[in-house]
Amino acid sequence: MVKKTEDNLIYKSINEAFVAAQKLIGGARKSSTNPHFKSKYADLKECFNACSDILNDHNIHISQPTMQEGELFVIRTILTYISGETMQDFGVPILGWQGAKNPAQAFGSGQTYARRYGLCGMVGIAPEDDDGQSLTQDVQQRISNKQISEIVLLLEHRDVNRNAFMKYFGINDVHEMTADKFASAKKQLEAKPLKGVE
């Protein structure tokens, strides 16, 4: 059953309100330029513009806190209904700031990126952008086979928690490491003591 207040509709559950809102939510317009590719993409503001008013009209509030899970920082997207019910994702990790020349600036950029993708994924917005090009560039910037061998040998001979190392650099396997993280990873591993040496 749906009740109507002076301004908004009151639904019996957040799921019912969300479905009604989602029917009205469209795509996000491409309005910002990616300096790397000189192409247009939908930025965080456009993604919010595509859904926030509609969600608010259905008594759903958006929040995106930065949270720490182990050694990773994530942006969690939470939708809260007027009744107190919530819907939330598992969080989008903030990556690429470790080892950056300006970590604070890189972290802020990572937050914006994670908020954009968290919101779009949670609400179901499908902006058209140039991420295919970005992904291609990322693949081309992976570390070389020689660098992979260096990291693997260090992991084998240094007293380090392999799982914690992988999680810190946001990878599941050494082959996924990008070139910009290699120097920092190698330096951290070389600073660890050799296995079996007091």
Tens of pLDDT, residue by residue over 90-148, are 999 998 888 788 889 889 988 998 999 899 889 888 765 544 444 444 444 778 878 88
Distance CA 71, CA 16 (A): 36
Which of 71, 31, 47 is CA-nearest to residue 125?
Answer: 47
Which tokens hold the place of 92?
Answer: 């989008």
Per-residue pLDDT at 29 exceeds 70: no
Distance CA 82, CA 58 (A): 9
pLDDT confidence of 78, banded at 50, 70, 90? Answer: very high
Per-residue pLDDT at 167 exceeds 50: yes
